[in-house]
Amino acid sequence: MRKLIFVTIAVALAAPVFAQNLGNLSSNPYGPDSSANQYGAGSPYNPNSINNPYGRFGSPYSPDSATNPYAMDAPKLYDDQGNYHGKLSANPYDPDSTSNQFGRYGSPYSADSINNPFGAGSPYRSDSPNNPYGHGMEMQGDAN
């Protein structure tokens, strides 16, 4: 029995963790996983919130933050079908950044951009971050 427990623990510790769920990028203030819910995933006291100015994903100094204009490992966005929609980043030079107005995920003309009101950013899509009644896009951070 001891060996079984030891092996189970060793396998669990050795299993790689690739991504950390940070909630959903959403303008819905009532969704529990919404970044706009100040009592849920969007709480400024949540250590993994993009709204926590002292946390890993919200600090303007963290390399993993959505608010650091130099970050290269910002949280990644995924829609309901698992399609990648870039990095939620303030970095205007990162090719995958939602703030790069000339990139695939930041251009207001790209169908994959949350900044396109006729594409991924449509206020009528349930997984759009711009739909105040939807659930938004899943945010995933690197699990370091």
pLDDT in tens, 123-135: 999 999 999 999 9
Better-predicted residue by pLDDT, 77 or 1: 77
Q: Which domain range does residue 121 map to?
A: 19-144
Number of domains in the chain: 1
Is 5 domain-assigned? no
Half-sphere exposure of 57 (CA within 13 A, CB side): 29
Residues 16-39 as b or e (16 or more Cβ within 10 Å = b):
eeeebebbbbbbbeebebbbbbee
Is 108 domain-assigned? yes
Is 38 domain-assigned? yes
Nearest to 22 by CA among 37, 12, 10: 37
The pLDDT value given to residue 1? 55
Is 1 domain-assigned? no
pLDDT of 33 higher than 50 = yes
Both structure tokens of 112: 């994959």
What is the pTM assigned to this prediction? 0.84
User: Is the Cβ–Cβ distance between 122 and 128 less than 8 Å?
Assistant: yes
Report the alpha-carbon distance of residue 105 to residue 111 in Å, rounded.
Answer: 8
- Calculate mean pLDDT across residues 11-36: 80
56-97 tens-digit pLDDT: 999 999 999 999 999 999 999 999 999 999 999 999 999 999
Is 136 domain-assigned? yes
